[in-house]
């Protein structure tokens, strides 16, 4: 008889798994229907269970007669009901040394997939929104902890802490992301808020001596508000000169004792005050000593003080290393705070008519984009059928006219009404026509082509200072633009006042300009329209004779009125008034900037009231959610690029950057652009990546669930021969016409016979790929080959037919170590 195989389960996983079972056995979901239960339903179910227990105690256990006759409130106290939320809300968001190196909580990178782990899983569906957020909260916290463990061990290894003869710590190395602490002191502990035990705020100052290269010193000085750092205590037992092995744990080798997280509030100036972020350049401080004001975790600070009161060591007197992290990997605290806020807190109407701008190349492209629809054109002149097109979905329009009720037809007709969209002229000047602004990036360039005023564009986050553009789209850059634009418009108003010889000092302020518009400009225009309406003969001379703004448009191209037809001249007159009216519209919007004096207030007003298109990363959205919601930030549409490469919870948070309006979400459209066939989100821990399925993006989950999506089935960035290398990954990937038509795709690359080729590089002196530090792979011979080829091709291309073309030659490296060697060799 065959023996049944035994399933191995670590005893350390039994308790967490049992706790998960108990939690989900009582989860707020109906066992019969699977629907989420309301607070009232959960209360009734709870009372029913307590009453059933009391009945059993009354009939079977006479000694429990007092319990059986008690009311429910005395049996189950408020404290026990709030235990779960108390545990979550008082949980420190920064991991400590107890969690970071506990492999039962955070598995190691080596995971075989054979064992069962006490970890939540992410799949296609979830029980409730609370269950969805809770699973992501726990997984994101543990994955962040794993990444922090790697960063701490790498930084400590590079610093090489040794024990000096006098018992102090001597650092024999240096690290870009970590530095020894000169002094540390807690400077403020605020009183707890009502109903809380932890302090409302804990501030501390840390001083470091930055005797390093200028670029590294600049990185430390560029630490911004809300950046997360870690304070570390090491007590090495190894003497000076001892070599560390990075393959072994640095906890035992360097004796890492304490790890505490903190948030940067700012760098202090010479007077000990926090240097505020703003448009003004930062003051230059003398010497290498820099002091940073930090915000500590109040919950963790209270726990540490409780331990110190019991006779244990005071953690905050022992720190000797401060470590920072890369900004793009350092958003975990903001994401966790946002998820926790959301845990403590209908599809909108369809829009029948949309202006698709330059989405469609021509009418044939539009017809091919909507198979199964009947296309009706609103013009009889085929010459007018040029983009941009305005598209109306007739079935959506009829459904809205019926009050949202479904139509009685068995198969409702799918009809699309198409009409060309003509942008009205905004004045007689050529500069009034839509033009391309060298804007933020390709997206902003497209927006500028669509005639969106650049004052409505705004860029938030760490990338705002790295924009390689001739215009500043950051917060303070836009404020300066608005102030300069205001002065320019007021100057035009002053010139208009002189030409009309009416009013006084109309160009002094926005308020005076408003009065001038209401009492002098608009009455003249209305008088002009009345006289034209009284002219029954529709004479061309009437328009030119009665037009009141001839002198103001003296610098416009001549003649102002061509005199060919009455309709054409009237359109010119109306475009002239649109130009004038637009001046006063902009000044009315800029009026608030005269009342707001500080740059911070102006930037907030710009964000909430003026900016219409705001670019930010998901990281920045999570970082600033509380601030944006508090300011009353509103938006209607979200466009996400590279959605398939973002963690699901990081994709979810930007949807909730505003409070509901009248109990409903203001969000109307959510557009995700991505490619789930390419790289998934980066999850470094294999257990979280495979066992918990954390690498699945929200974009991928939507596709797997069968949500309708639009698939682009043609590429236009590579030669067809190169595209064949990855064409198999897609169902039916074709090529756009320009990749077979344009000369740069058809001509051969100078110096290369083939479109692509593989080159084998043998080991040199028996040394192949090396790993001087974790995940830092290097191969000297391959890097030298790459750099040699790059220089050769660069020299050939300098004399090729594509001289003057920018960004023609790229060198891509798959490993950070190889990139480092190529930079050193180049």
Three-class secondary structure assignment of 107-155: CCCCCCCCCCCCCCCCCCCCCCHHHHHHHHHHHHHHHHHHHHHHHHHHH
DSSP 366: H
Q: Which of 541-555, 614-628, 692-706 is predicted least confidently?
A: 614-628
Angle formed by the axes of helices 129-159 and 332-343, to 10°?
A: 160
- Extract the tokens encoding 731: 């169902």
d(CA 694, CA 637): 27
d(CA 73, CA 464): 55
Biggest CA-to-CA distance, the chain: 112
Looking at the chain, the number of H-run helices and the number of E-run strands are 32, 21
d(CA 260, CA 202): 13
Angle formed by the axes of helices 522-534 and 566-589, to 10°?
A: 160
- Extract the tokens encoding 755: 């479109």
Question: How many other C-beta atoms are found inside a 10 Å radius of the C-beta of residue 239?
Answer: 11
DSSP 323: E
- The DSSP code sequence of 76-117 is S-HHHHTHHHHHHHTS-SS--HHHHT-TTTS--S---S-S--
Residue 283 has pLDDT above 80, yes or no: no
pLDDT, one tens digit per residue, over 548-560 is 888 888 888 888 8
CB under 8 Å to 360, separation ≥6 — which residues?
366, 369, 387, 389
Angle formed by the axes of helices 475-500 and 566-589, to 10°?
A: 130
pLDDT, one tens digit per residue, over 176-228 is 999 999 999 999 999 988 878 889 999 999 999 988 888 899 899 888 888 88
Angle formed by the axes of helices 816-825 and 780-797, to 10°?
A: 60
CB under 8 Å to 359, separation ≥6 — which residues?
387, 389
d(CA 715, CA 4): 55
Stated pTM of the model: 0.66
pLDDT, one tens digit per residue, over 569-602 is 888 889 899 999 999 998 998 888 888 888 778 8
Please, what is the average pLDDT of the chain?
79
Residue 470 has pLDDT above 80, yes or no: no
Sign of CA dihedral 622, 623, 625, 628: negative
Q: What percent of the chain has pLDDT over 90?
A: 13
Region 672-679: mean pLDDT is 87
């Amino acid at each position: 008889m065959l023996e049944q195989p035994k399933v191995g389960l670590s005893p350390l996983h039994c308790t967490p798994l049992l706790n998960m079972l108990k939690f989900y056995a009582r989860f707020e979901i109906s066992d019969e229907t699977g629907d989420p239960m309301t607070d009232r339903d959960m209360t009734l179910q709870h009372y029913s269970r307590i009453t059933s227990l009391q009945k059993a105690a009354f009939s079977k256990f006479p000694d429990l007669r007092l319990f059986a006759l008690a009311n429910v409130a005395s049996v189950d106290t408020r404290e026990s009901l709030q235990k779960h939320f108390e545990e979550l809300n008082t949980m420190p968001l920064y991991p400590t040394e107890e969690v970071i190196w506990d492999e039962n909580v955070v598995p190691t990178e080596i995971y075989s997939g054979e064992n069962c782990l006490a970890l939540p899983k992410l799949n296609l569906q979830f029980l409730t929104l609370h269950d969805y957020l809770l699973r992501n909260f726990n997984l994101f916290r543990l994955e962040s902890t794993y990444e922090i463990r790697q960063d701490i061990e790498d930084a400590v290894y590079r610093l090489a802490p040794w024990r000096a003869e006098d018992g102090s710590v001597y650092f024999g190395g240096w690290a870009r992301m970590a530095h020894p602490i000169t002094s540390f002191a807690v400077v403020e502990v605020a009183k707890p808020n009502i109903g809380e035990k932890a302090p409302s705020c804990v501030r501390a100052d840390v001083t470091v001596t930055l005797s390093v290269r200028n670029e590294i010193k600049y990185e430390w000085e560029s630490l911004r508000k809300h950046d997360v750092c870690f304070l570390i205590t090491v007590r090495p037992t190894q003497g000076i000169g001892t070599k560390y092995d990075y393959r072994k744990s640095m906890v035992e080798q360097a004796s890492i004792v304490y790890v505490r997280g903190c948030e940067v509030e700012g760098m202090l100036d010479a007077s000990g005050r926090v240097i505020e972020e703003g448009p003004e350049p930062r003051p230059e401080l003398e010497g290498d000593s820099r002091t940073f004001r930090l915000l500590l975790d109040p919950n963790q600070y209270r726990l540490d003080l409780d331990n110190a009161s019991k006779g244990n060591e005071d953690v905050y007197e022992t720190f000797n290393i401060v470590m920072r992290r890369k900004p793009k990997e350092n958003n975990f605290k903001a994401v966790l705070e946002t998820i926790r806020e959301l845990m403590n807190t209908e599809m909108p109407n369809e829009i029948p008519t949309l202006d698709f701008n330059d989405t469609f190349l021509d009418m044939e492209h539009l017809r091919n984009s909507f198979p199964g629809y009947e296309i009706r054109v609103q013009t009889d002149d085929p010459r007018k059928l040029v983009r941009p097109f305005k598209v109306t979905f007739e079935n959506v329009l009829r459904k809205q006219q019926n009050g949202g009720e479904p139509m009685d037809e068995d198969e409702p007709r799918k009809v699309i009404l198409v009409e060309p969209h003509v942008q009205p002229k905004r004045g007689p000047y050529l500069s009034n026509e839509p033009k391309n602004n060298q804007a933020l990036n390709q997206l902003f360039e497209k927006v500028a082509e669509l005639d969106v005023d650049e004052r409505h564009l705004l860029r938030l986050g760490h990338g705002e200072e790295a924009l390689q553009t001739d215009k500043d789209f950051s917060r303070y850059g836009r404020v300066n633009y608005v102030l300069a634009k205001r002065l320019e418009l007021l100057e035009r108003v002053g010139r208009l006042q002189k030409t009309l010889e009416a009013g006084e000092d109309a160009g002094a302020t926005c308020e005076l300009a408003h009065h001038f518009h209401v009492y002098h400009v608009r009455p003249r225009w209305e008088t002009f329209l009345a006289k034209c309406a009284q002219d029954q003969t529709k004479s061309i001379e009437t328009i030119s004779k009665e037009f009141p703004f001839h002198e103001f448009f003296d610098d416009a191209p001549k003649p102002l009125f061509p005199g060919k037809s009455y309709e054409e001249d009237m359109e010119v007159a109306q475009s002239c008034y649109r130009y004038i009216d637009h001046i006063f519209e902009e000044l009315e919007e800029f009026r608030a900037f005269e009342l707001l004096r500080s740059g911070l207030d102006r930037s907030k007003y710009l964000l909430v009231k003026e900016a219409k298109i705001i670019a930010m990363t998901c990281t920045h959205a999570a970082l600033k959610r509380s601030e944006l919601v508090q300011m009353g930030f509103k938006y209607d549409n979200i466009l996400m690029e590279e959605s398939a490469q973002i963690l699901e919870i990081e994709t979810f948070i930007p949807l909730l950057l505003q409070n509901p309006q009248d109990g409903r979400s203001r969000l109307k459209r959510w557009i995700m652009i991505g490619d789930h066939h390419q790289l998934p989100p980066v999850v470094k821990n294999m257990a979280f990546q495979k066992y918990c399925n954390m690498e699945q993006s929200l974009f991928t989950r939507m596709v797997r669930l069968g949500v309708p999506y639009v698939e682009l089935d043609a590429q236009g960035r590579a030669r067809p021969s190169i595209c064949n290398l990855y064409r198999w990954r897609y169902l039916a990937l074709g090529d756009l016409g320009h990749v077979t038509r344009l000369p740069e795709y058809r001509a051969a690359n100078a110096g290369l016979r083939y479109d692509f080729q593989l080159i084998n590089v043998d080991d040199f002196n028996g040394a192949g790929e090396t790993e001087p530090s974790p995940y830092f792979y290097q191969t000297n011979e391959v890097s030298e080959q790459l750099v040699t080829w790059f220089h050769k091709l660069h020299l050939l291309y300098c004399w090729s037919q594509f001289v003057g073309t920018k960004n023609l030659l790229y060198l891509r490296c798959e490993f950070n170590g190889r990139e480092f060697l190529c930079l050193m060799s180049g």
